[in-house]
Amino acid sequence: MSQLGDLIRYTREHAPLLQLTLLAGVADRIEEAMKWLFDADRGLFRDHVRESYYRDRKAAEARRAQAEREAQALLGDTRKTLAAERERALEEARRAALDLGTGVARRLLAELPMQFRAEAWIERIEQHISRLAKSDRDGLARQPEHFAGADLDSGRTAPGEPPWLLSRRPRLGQAQAFRAEN
The tens digit of pLDDT for each residue in 87-109 reads 999 999 999 999 999 999 889 88
- Which residue, among 173, 157, 175, has the nearest Cα to 165 in the 3D structure? 157
Say what the pTM is: 0.35
Q: What is the mean pLDDT of residues 74-87?
A: 94
110 phi and psi angles, rounded to 5 deg: -65, -30
| pLDDT computed for residue 182 by the predictor | 31
Pick from 12-26, 49-63, 94-108, 164-178: least confident: 164-178
Q: Which residues contact 44 (CB under 8 A, 6 or more apart)?
A: 36, 37, 38
Query: pLDDT digits over 122-173, tens only?
Result: 888 888 888 888 888 777 777 655 555 555 555 555 565 666 555 555 444 4
Q: Where are the domains of the chain?
A: 1-38, 42-111, 113-175
Output the pLDDT for position 113.
83
More confident of the two residues 84 and 155: 84
Residue type, 22: L
146 half-sphere exposure, CB direction, 13 A CA radius: 7
Helices (H) and strands (E) in the chain, counts: 6, 0
